Structure 1
């Protein structure tokens, strides 16, 4: 049994910690939070925090508090995302905003965020609080930047990288850095773990953006080509547009304007993005960022924890949902 398997006991403790985070005097606040918490997330960010802390020999309660708080922040953003995107499903289940009103889900997300920072405060480490606060600020900026560029066919690869760094990677970076602080690592090793988390997060999002074009609704639990229907330009499409003919670009523009795709549109856009190399470029970029991230782990000895991080990274890159 490897560390990723044995850490499942910590994951069960985390689930209990998350439920405790959601306790409220107002029943609906708990109900909304519990619905999305129980929607089948992979708990990648908590695993990063716990393993990073273990690398430094720390196995105390604060690792669970940190990982629980970070997962709460991630979960709150999912609630807000579903409202913004008018989503019907989340991981194959009805999204919270289909069961409760948009207004209640926004407030539910705010409640979960407040609970996250309450848990962070209880750790009693100002630096960890500052790091996660800064990551949450950047996460919000990333989401806003993406929203401000909905339907912008001139979005560059650099713009895209800014979006996914802020909206996804910085929270994984914070998970690793927070765990490293609990593990009492010296600055160079703390930075190495943080850079691993940052680059892993970029690779994670690039893989996610490929899945949107390649997977199916039964596997994904959401409609195919959801990003383009929402007007979000991700790297597969940005790369494909680089060499698009005028008719191809016009067809993509029309899809985004209409905010809906017919069956023929879905088949065409998936085949076109694949054929023009958009998928391949994104996969290669994701692999490059993953290799950059794992290179930062070379500073550490070959321990069970290091191997667990490497294995987690490979699982992320090769997932299909």
Structure 2
């Protein structure tokens, strides 16, 4: 994937995955997002960085947080935004994705945020993009969600400081179907996390990710003494068959309750990429409690996506 993401001079040209992105690049994006986050607190929160540029949200899957966040990020950088209406587009008439890209490139669009159910779709478009056109992966299948991974790192950085090597981070839930988990795990390892814990039912643990951290078959053991707890949504829409007995049974075995949270460090933070299934993977009392940074994650999506778009289009 590196040859797709990077120009010959090493500059980040597209953002398809966090796999292969250097620690220096990750830290630069986080620092830029921290600075841009302050802009959001000003009475006038727009910057002229991308004035005259056009950003297209090319979403083939439903989205609330990601799509809105990218739109706000582009607007706050003074870019024009086009929200591509897939349901009423020529893709329904048989037009290929490459032809759709070519058509929109001909209208002088500069950056495409692509969400698709199939792994590899953003990478495919990146391979065919014209020089000067950037592709950002807004989530593809269970492969990657790089900007979610970045905003999660921004959130951890704000609460736990610059040194990730001292942190104990637990990633819990439906890891098998989670593109967020893959991007988070890649970023956490690149940033130096040594104590990375992966906890999931056996049927929901991705085998290829075992090498990245210590695997637990019980949530209580994974949470004990953790600094950061990252809960994942149970993605039933991506399951070919029922892999859990019931929502209630899943919560009993794998849900994050107040009692289980007490096993973590007193200042541990609780994260979730959303949308949440309350009382399935996380209790409402935890999701809305003082250790939850879930809404902050949502808010951090705007400055982080501003940082990514600025990096790709403005250098």
TM-score interval (norm. to shorter): under 0.3
Higher strand share: 2
TM-score (ref. length: structure 2): 0.28
Question: Per residue, is there more helix in 1 or in 2?
Answer: 1
